[in-house]
Amino acid sequence: MHVTMVKKRLKDGSACRKCEEAVAHLQARGLLERIDEIVWALEDDPASPGMVLSARHGVDVAPFFIVRDGDQERVVTSVLRLVQQLEKGISDRERARLVDPDDVGGI
């Protein structure tokens, strides 16, 4: 599986807020290293690689992900859906290692 993340860079040079939140979420779940490539969609450059991918796939939100599995390619526009797909192949032991004790309810 090859995962490309398309992030948007705004005209002022900053990354979009949702893109940064998605990166933080993937990092917190221990899944950021499963992202093989990050491509930037520059808001003021329609020829930038991310804008080209956005137009090719008809996606107008950021971030989005292109997941290639062999000959199949699919677009995922939700970081939560991507997490579900990435976690399919993770063992229960690995999943337990990724749980943050602070996220588990207690007494």
Q: Per-domain residue ranges for the chain?
A: 2-101
User: Which one, of 65, 44, 38, lies nearest residue 54 by Cα?
Assistant: 65
Sequential pLDDT tens for the chain (107 residues): 899 999 999 999 999 999 999 999 999 988 999 999 999 999 999 999 999 999 999 999 999 999 998 899 999 999 999 998 888 765 556 656 656 666 666 55
What is the structure's pLDDT at 95? 57
What is the structure's pLDDT at 17? 95
Pairing between β-strand 2-9 and β-strand 37-42 as defined by DSSP bridges: parallel
What is the structure's pLDDT at 73? 93
Longest Cα pair distance anywhere in the chain, in angstroms? 54
CATH code, residues 2-101: 3.40.30.10
User: Which one, of 34, 17, 15, 40, lies nearest residue 82 by Cα?
Assistant: 34
- Asked if residues 100 and 31 have their Cβ atoms less than 8 Å apart, the reply is no
What is the structure's pLDDT at 104? 63
Unique residue bearing structure tokens 């998605």: 22
